[in-house]
């Protein structure tokens, strides 16, 4: 696309946002589906297009930190330090919301709001031209993998939204990290994402980062039905555990259409052996099989271990894995895969976010390699 065309698309999209329309746009994490966060009808159109449960609040996107004072009541010094370090960027801060500014539908009735400044030139120009805070969840149908390309948005939402601004591939490939700074300065990680726990600790102090809330939500997202091997479909899992503080984390998310299990083991060899056997058995039973693996492990499998084999790149580059994960899950859908196995990866750095999304896509199903 030409530069001027780019800008024309942004200008049109900004006008649509101001008029109460819904517009999908690229960010450095995934594509978002935006609406004027002050306009209840516009925000309701976002929930409707996504088929999103109304108790799951939206993240508000702004272009400039100055706007923040109009939206929130107080900012903990640690929260301010995190903004300073990571904005613009893939970090969402949950802050006490000021009453009467944003549509109550954005916060789903909570007294807090999640806010971030995205690090993407198209998102930033769109936000500046629209001149309003923009509520934007990921631009997928609820329960589907988040979109990292404009074509993914169209696959899910064509006909349900007013426009898509195409900015090419999203950068990180996984959503932002959502954190809440507690009164004692603890940084509670509600959802792991583009900013790693290690990066947060470098700013807030090593002992200050608590990743337990995200894990609590992970186990709450494993309904017994999925563990028993039923398809991890589009439906929302019931929250049986302690109330997660990021309401969205209790839902089965990011799911491909086929059944998905995560294989863990003491060695890559053990994982490959177990996965290959299970895939073979599934194929014999008439299943269309899928395998998500890391490049280094491909040689550990027999030839053509599954009908659809997708690599997340090097196990030593979680950045690569994060960028390709959601597109990989969509590829299994295109192949019509009914039985999919995914190799687990180490949960350090961005690996924590990859495993969090994989576990949610699998509805919590883990297979221990023998
Ligand atoms: O990277 C991202 O964050 C993308 C791009 C578009 O910015 N957006 C995104 O939005 O992933 P969404 O709606 O798919 O996920 C928002 C997450 C949900 O888990 C939601 O429950 C949580 O943030 N959240 C939003 N507001 C919250 C609040 N006030 N308190 C706790 N959690 C909140
Ligand atoms: Mg989402």
β-pair type (177-181, 163-164)? unpaired
Residue 324 labeled ligand binder: no
Q: Which helix (H) or strand (E) holds 37?
A: none
Residue 37 structure tokens: 């966060």
Residue 139 labeled ligand binder: no
Residue 58's alpha-carbon distances to 20, 103, 190, 305, in angstroms, are 16, 11, 14, 40
Whether complex ipTM tops 0.95:
yes
Q: How far is the CA of 289 from the centre of ligand 1 (A)?
A: 32
Structural domain spans, the chain? 3-178, 221-368
Report pLDDT for 237: 31
310, β-bridge pairs: 292
Instruction: Look up tokens 């600790």; give the residue.
Output: 201
Give pLDDT tens digits for 216-267: 655 444 333 333 333 333 233 323 333 346 776 666 567 889 999 999 999 9
User: What does the alpha-carbon distance between residue 134 and residue 35 come to, in Å, rounded to a whole number?
Assistant: 5
Nearest alpha carbon, ligand 1 atom 3: 176
Report pLDDT for 241: 33
C-alpha angle 129-130-134 in degrees, rounded to nearest 5: 130
**Does the pLDDT of residue 106 top 80, yes or no?**
yes
Residue 87 structure tokens: 């904005």
Give pLDDT tens digits for 36-85: 999 999 999 999 999 999 999 999 999 999 999 999 999 999 999 999 99
CB 301 within 8 A of CB 293: yes
Specify the range with the lowest mean pLDDT, choosing from 17-31, 242-256, 283-297, 335-349. Answer: 242-256
Give pLDDT tens digits for 304-344: 999 999 999 999 999 999 999 999 999 999 999 999 999 99
pTM comes to 0.91
Report pLDDT for 3: 63
Q: How far is the CA of 58 from the centre of ligand 1 (A)?
A: 5
261, β-bridge pairs: 341
CATH class of 221-368: alpha beta
Q: What is the CATH number of domain 3-178?
A: 3.90.870.10
């Amino acid at each position: 696309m030409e530069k001027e065309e780019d800008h024309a698309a942004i200008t049109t999209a900004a006008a649509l946002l101001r008029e109460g329309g819904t517009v999908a746009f690229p960010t450095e994490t995934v594509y978002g589906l935006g609406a004027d966060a002050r306009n209840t009808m516009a925000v309701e159109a976002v929930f409707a297009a996504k088929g999103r449960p109304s108790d799951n609040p939206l993240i508000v996107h702004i272009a400039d930190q100055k706007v923040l004072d109009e939206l929130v009541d107080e900012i903990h010094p640690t929260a301010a330090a995190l903004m300073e370090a990571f904005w613009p960027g893939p970090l969402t801060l949950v802050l006490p919301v000021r009453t009467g500014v944003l549509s109550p539908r954005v916060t789903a009735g909570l007294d807090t709001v999640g806010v971030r400044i995205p690090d993407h030139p198209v998102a930033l120009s769109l936000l500046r031209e629209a001149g309003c805070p923009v509520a934007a969840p990921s631009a997928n149908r609820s329960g589907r993998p988040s979109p990292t390309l404009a074509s993914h948005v169209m696959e899910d939402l064509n006909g349900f939204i007013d426009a898509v601004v195409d900015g090419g591939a999203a950068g990180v490939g996984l959503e932002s990290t959502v954190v809440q700074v507690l009164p004692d300065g603890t940084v509670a990680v509600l959802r792991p994402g583009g900013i790693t726990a290690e990066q947060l600790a470098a700013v807030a102090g090593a002992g200050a980062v608590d990743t337990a809330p995200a894990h609590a939500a992970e186990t709450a997202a494993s309904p017994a039905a999925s563990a028993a091997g039923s398809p991890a479909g589009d439906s929302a899992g019931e929250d049986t555990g302690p109330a997660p503080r990021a309401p969205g984390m209790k839902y089965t998310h990011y799911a491909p259409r086929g059944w998905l299990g995560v294989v863990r083991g003491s060695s890559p060899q053990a994982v490959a052996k177990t996965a290959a056997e299970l895939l073979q058995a599934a194929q014999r039973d008439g299943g269309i099989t899928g395998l998500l693996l890391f490049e280094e492990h491909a040689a550990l499998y027999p030839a053509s271990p599954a009908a659809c084999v997708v690599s997340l790149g090097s196990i030593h580059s979680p950045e690569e894995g994060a960028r390709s994960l959601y597109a990989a899950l969509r590829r299994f859908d295109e192949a019509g895969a009914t039985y999919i196995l995914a190799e687990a990866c180490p949960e350090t750095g961005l690996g924590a976010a990859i495993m969090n999304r994989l576990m949610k896509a699998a509805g919590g199903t883990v297979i221990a390699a023998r």
